[in-house]
Amino acid sequence: MAEFGIIGSTVPGQHIMANKFFPIALKVKGVKARAANILKQEMLSRMGDAVISRENLLKMESLTDVIIFGTEKSLRSLAEKIKLQPFGLKNLSEEIILYLSELSRSKSKKTISIKEKTFDLSIEGPLIMGILNITRDSFYDGGAYFFKKQYMARIEEIVSQGAHIIDVGGMTTRPGSKPVSVQEELSRVIPAITAISKKYDILISVDTYRSEVAKQAVGAGAAIINDISGFTMDDAMPGTAASTGASVVIMHMQGTPENMQNDPVYEDVVDEIYDFLFDQAEKAKAAGVAREKIIIDPGIGFGKNLEHNLEIIARLSDFTNMGYPVLFGASRKSFIGAILGGVGASERLEGSLAAAVYSYINGASILRVHDVAQTVAAVKVAKSIREII
């Protein structure tokens, strides 16, 4: 109903559409009014429908958003019919066909392959990514694992508690933080990654937005580059990711860690993040990153307020429609503390587990967490319940 209102459909029309059921709903942006009218008529003739703005239809040269409802069969038929039509419908036809092929692919594919490991999510559930912060000032455990003896004990804990991935970071990205030098970041993460790769059979992720750090980390044994900036803070990162052959996490962040929480604003938070992730994934593929190596992350807490974070979590399944695995990281973050009355990071375990379970049910393939054992247990229960339904 909210999306219908944004498009500008009439209130009676919104209620009529809400009472219909269609298995697929596609939102198409920036459609010419003439094309929108054609889409409406073509979908009605195929026992589907389209929500459009009546006001924009009267302005035949204007652009409007359209929500198309139908079955996979009716949408394929639509794509075939409009591929020779004017007003930009040929391009839309190609996009619909591509989307439907990816939809079929994502429905049938329940595995994630990273480096030489392949995981069947239908059996193992979401992958658990344990956090290792080799920093002095991370928001939750800054300084706790800064020295080798400390971080080696943390690595052993993460492995023994059942994580599939260790995410190694050498620079805090909490709100208000400032970057350290490249050499300082390298001096923190490379020894740890080297130690992990020599001693343990576990996938390693490097949490960095710098291409030089990413390159050296992969050389030391990392299999994943986790870029919180989604390639916006280092233009060389897409090419580096492609040349190393590593998997890559493309995350959304509004602003930089230093200023991202200074009153973040969105017109439609899910739409804007979706568009960004889609565009950056295309940039990665254009640079040579294989599609199956791309993971997306909506970036909980990175340039989002409480309401933004909650809407992202509630609509997390929207991001799965892109066809890439979705990583979710809400562990111990401040929005959980706000919901619980302003409690500190040390008191946010239960809230973190609730967010993790909800995100798993809503489509997350990877959970990035501080509390590995507790998350493994919580998800195991949720997975057992889900298998009965």
pTM (predicted TM-score): 0.85
The residue from 332, 368, 383, 386 that is catalytic is 368
Same domain, 283 and 326: yes
Half-sphere exposure at residue 298, Cβ-oriented, CA atoms within 13 angstroms: 31
Domain encompassing residue 314: 111-388
Select, from the ranges 22-36, 57-71, 100-114, 311-325, the one with the highest average predicted confidence (pLDDT): 311-325
DSSP string, 339-389: HTTS--GGG-HHHHHHHHHHHHHTT-SEEEES-HHHHHHHHHHHHHHHHH-
d(CA 134, CA 360): 27
Please, are residues 251 and 228 in contact by the beta-carbon 8 Å criterion? yes
Is residue 213 pLDDT above 80, yes or no?
Answer: yes
CATH code, domain carrying 350: 3.20.20.20
Is residue 6 pLDDT above 70, yes or no?
Answer: yes
pLDDT band at 313 (very low <50, low <70, confident <90, very high): very high
359, with CB counted inside 10 A (0-12, 13-18, 19+), is buried
d(CA 81, CA 99): 16
CA distances from 216 to 19, 148, 178 (A): 55, 19, 22
- Which of 79, 108, 137 represents a domain boundary (last residue)? 108
Is residue 17 pLDDT above 70, yes or no?
Answer: no
Same domain, 179 and 291: yes
Same domain, 180 and 76: no
333 is catalytic: yes
Is residue 114 pLDDT above 90, yes or no?
Answer: yes
Number of domains in the chain: 2
The residue from 32, 154, 333, 348 that is catalytic is 333
Predicted local confidence at residue 224, as pLDDT: 98
293 is catalytic: no
Taking only the tens place, the pLDDT of each residue in 250-305 is: 999 998 888 888 888 999 999 999 999 999 999 999 999 999 999 999 999 999 99
57, with CB counted inside 10 A (0-12, 13-18, 19+), is middle
- Which of 68, 91, 108 represents a domain boundary (last residue)? 108
Same domain, 196 and 229: yes
- Which of 76, 108, 140 represents a domain boundary (last residue)? 108
294-319 core/surface letters (b: 16 or more CB in 10 A; e: else): bbbbbbbbbbbbeebbbbbbebbebb
For 47-69, what is the mean pLDDT? Answer: 81
Nearest to 316 by CA among 223, 252, 225: 252
Average pLDDT, the chain: 91
